[in-house]
Chains A and B, each alone.
Chain A
Amino acid sequence: MNKKTKQKLAFLLFRLFSIIIVGILLSILGFIAFNGIKVINWEFLSTMPKEGMTEGGIFPAIVGTCYLIIGSLIFAVPLGVMSAIYTVEYAGNGKIVRFIRMMTNNLASIPSIVFGLFGMALFVTKLGFGDSILAGSLTLGLLTLPIIIRTSEEALKAVPESYRTGSYALGASKLQTIRKVVLPCAMPNILTGIILSVSRVSGETAPILFTVAAYFLPNLPDSIFSQAMALPYHLYVLATSGTDIEASRHMAYGTALVLVVIVLFFNLTATILRQRLSRKLKNK
């Protein structure tokens, strides 16, 4: 075989594999969309489950997931952004910072079920929150902390040093410089990280399994100490342990579609935001 044929053959293979991958992805999405779209209507999105989850809607699971997203952000965003500010702006590059950074990276690679167990031990049992939105939000918050810290760190590092020196030279303190120059400039990138963490939170099942998720609740949660239903866990229930699995199959596909659309929506927002920002920076 000569060089040219070899090259052609190799490229053909590369192309084939990438087509296969895109094909797999599209067929998963297509399969869910095809099966799910049939049950999607206003009733499905806005009412409680009925008839042993074979009829009705998934409203409480959507609400529960929204609560968990908000709850985890309230906890993880200030904590994550502030710790990123500390490591980038204040702490220099000493041993402690490198240790913190290493721990953050390790935190990111812990399996989510371990977070679930930890959350159960600490928030549910030790701190006595019980199975609750609070315990679930805190557990999910822990899970997303590394994402938020890392993206915030990168965002802060991307702010040109000349902005900081320019600000100091005008008599601004370090805190003023961070608040009025560095943070506003880093905000779009920090937001991207936050949105990515939202898409992570909305899809995670393991961390909420032992900390918040309910099989079925007749009412919507009324406080942060209530249990809640959530989309990923509801999907798991519908697919594996409903009263009549075959009869609730269509509901499971509908739930999966809603979940996928939510995650895709957040990822798309993050992508658009990032592109806008890089365009803005290029214009400079």
Chain B
Amino acid sequence: MIETKNINFYYGSFQALKNISMKMDANTVTAFIGPSGCGKSTFLRLFNRMNDLIDDTKLEGECLIKGKDIYDKSINIDALRKDVGMVFQKPNPFPKSVFENVAYGLKVNGITDKKFIANRVEETLKAAALFDEVKDKLNKSAFELSGGQQQRLCIARALAIEPSIILMDEPASALDPISTSKIEELIHQLKKKYTIVIVTHNMQQAARVSDKTGFFMLGELIEYNDTKKMFLNPDNETTQNYITGRFG
């Protein structure tokens, strides 16, 4: 599904990613872990070209999604972002109603059929395990929801446009434990239909939700392995030290 070849990435003269090659399969959850500033979020944002919004950056290497180089000149960035959804660290619903938040992605992608939109909004709110909680508040401002509900609304918003990949950048780091477990449950559900890549600070979370885990440090991919193996018996000593909490 996603494949990178020898990725180097620079912020100005600072090299944030060093020669990273990895492959992520369809319908799996891949977690990126590592200490702050290790480049895992930067790497994640390559897949929907969010780094394009930052000035003075440089990319080397290839980043393929479904076999196509997404940094090729022929790629339509808006279409790419429609196919590769993203959920951010802090819930960022628009200052609009719950309904409009989910409908937004459909509308900007040219869908005008009101009935279709209404159906899809309900479907995706259900898929994001939020519908029962908000069905009486669809026309209320999204800011009236709790933080956890807002984050699930943002997930619903991303699901509405039927992406094939969902990127999650520490989606639960601003949430309480109960909301976090709801999000994790949701990730389990979503795996059946979507390919998910999640950046997390929380190693237990990586262990709980992911099939494969990549451990990053100082811009390098130290180890990439099955999550079980990674947490029980990692190949690399640095990984072992990090996971057992000897540093980080």
**A residues whose Cβ falls under 8 Å from a Cβ of B:** 92, 160, 162-163, 165-173, 176, 180-181, 184-185, 283-284
Contact = CB atoms under 8 A, between A and B. Distances in A.
A171 B161 contact: yes
Contact of B82 (A167, A171, A184): A171
Chain A residues touching B, majority SS: helix
A235 B242 CA distance: 79
B90 A162 contact: yes
A170 B88 contact: no
B95 A170 contact: no
Contact of A171 (B88, B92, B94, B109): B109
Contacts, number: 66
B88 A162 contact: yes
Contacts of B109: 170-171
B55 A92 contact: yes
Interface string B98-117: 00000011011100000000
20 contacts: A163-B94, A163-B95, A165-B53, A166-B154, A167-B94, A168-B50, A168-B81, A169-B50, A169-B81, A169-B85, A170-B85, A170-B104, A170-B108, A171-B78, A171-B108, A171-B109, A172-B108, A176-B108, A184-B95, A284-B143
B239 to A, nearest CB: 31
Nearest to A174: B78
B11 to A, nearest CB: 16
Interface residues of B, number: 27
Interface of B: 48, 50, 53, 55, 78-82, 85-86, 88, 90, 92-95, 104-105, 107-109, 143, 154, 157-158, 161
B46 to A, nearest CB: 13
A173 B108 contact: yes
A170 B158 contact: yes
A283 B82 contact: no
Contacts of B107: 180
Contact of B92 (A165, A172, A185, A283): A165
A163 B92 contact: yes
B77 to A, nearest CB: 9
A170 B143 contact: no
A196 to B, nearest CB: 23
B50 A171 contact: no
Contact of B108 (A160, A180, A185, A284): A180
A284 B104 CA distance: 20
Contacts of B78: 171-173
B124 to A, nearest CB: 12
A176 B105 CA distance: 11
